[in-house]
Amino acid sequence: MNKGLKIFGILTSIGMLIVLLQGSIVTKTDSGDGCGETWPLCFGEWVPSSPAIATIIEYSHRLVSGIVGLMVIILAIWAVKKLPHIRETKFWALMAVLFIIFQGFMGAAAVVFGHSNIVLALHFGISAISFATVILLTTLAFEDGTRRPAPRVKKGFRSYLFFVLAYAYLVIYSGAYVKHTGATYACEQFPHCGDVATFGFQAGVQMTHRISAIILVVMLFILFIQAFHYRFESKMLAGSGLSALVLILVQAAAGVAIVYFPDAYLAAALTHTLVITFVFTLLCYMAMLVTRNRAY
């Protein structure tokens, strides 16, 4: 059922993953100025002539983002037409379209009006939401025609899950802010920051992110314990909780690797970025599951 929609959803999800990777590479290689201050043109040209490496990185990111953006809009319209009987379809379709457009505007604003650290960090946060909406729309296509999971959970668990979801987004933002303020190597040790005498703004940004990230690990461990209680009622809920916990540990390890293995910075940084996006997507999926049935 809906084979075409499923295939297109998978392709769009892969496209979003590529956009995330490209955006992260743009950030990690400081290629944001690769096309100057013009958008959508690149140095006033549709196709840059004799481009530098930074220009190729930035231009390819813009090109792929535009194509994938159109795919997201098509996916949303297609899902609404094919899955109108599923309660979540219209909501996630609307979110997918709104956030992919917002993501594009944020990227354009960063180029035209200057590279504000706050705007650039928010741009990645919006990208994480866009990725999650596409994954969830694709998930709905695969659930159609099957017994859709609808665990009956306590209000306390549902409230805690939504709190963790919101907190995880703030951690994502703080991590992006670390990079865009140049605070990646403000602390040369882990978990503390070394010499207190040299502690400044960048070290403060780095330590704020580290503390918030450690708290998130603890919160996800508690979330998994709570979700595990529903393992007989919903294997998907319990499995998602376990997956989120495992992934956040991988993400933490990648963050530590950035500090101690600078030669492997790009690989560790890309892993760090992608994994936290997957964690956020899993939390969104869990939130969708627990809203399908009334809490008690």
Nearest CA-CA partner of 169 in 69, 15, 27, 279:
279
Domains of the chain: total = 2
Residue 42 and residue 276: Cα distance in Å, rounded?
31
Note if 58 is an active site residue.
yes
At CA 64, angle to CA 50 and CA 58, rounded to 5?
Answer: 40
Q: Are residues 197 and 127 in the same domain?
A: no
Nearest CA-CA partner of 93 in 112, 116, 76:
76
Range of the domain at 162: 149-295
- pTM here is 0.87
Q: Is 146 left (phi over 0), alpha (psi -120 to 50) or beta?
A: beta
Q: Are residues 258 and 139 in the same domain?
A: no
Q: Show which of 148, 182, 209 is a domain's final residue.
A: 148
Long-range contacts of 206-209 (CB under 8 A, 24+ apart): 206/178, 208/174, 209/171, 209/174, 209/175, 209/177, 209/178
Q: Show which of 78, 113, 148 is a domain's final residue.
A: 148
- State the CB neighbour count (10 A cutoff) for residue 145: 9
Q: Are residues 185 and 60 in the same domain?
A: no
- From 58, 88, 188, 233, the catalytic residue: 58
Q: Are residues 44 and 96 in the same domain?
A: yes
Q: Are residues 87 and 26 in the same domain?
A: yes
Annotated binding site for heme, which residues? 209, 272
The Cβ-side half-sphere exposure at 216, using a 13 Å CA radius, reads 29
Tokens for 219? 């919160």
Tens digit of pLDDT per residue, the chain (296 long)? 788 999 999 999 999 999 988 888 887 777 766 776 667 777 667 777 767 788 888 888 888 888 999 999 999 999 999 999 898 999 999 999 999 998 877 777 666 665 666 777 777 888 899 999 999 999 999 988 677 777 888 889 999 999 999 999 999 988 888 887 877 777 877 877 766 546 678 888 888 899 999 999 999 999 999 999 988 888 999 999 999 999 999 999 998 898 888 888 888 888 888 999 999 999 999 999 999 875 54
Residue 204 and residue 201: Cα distance in Å, rounded?
5
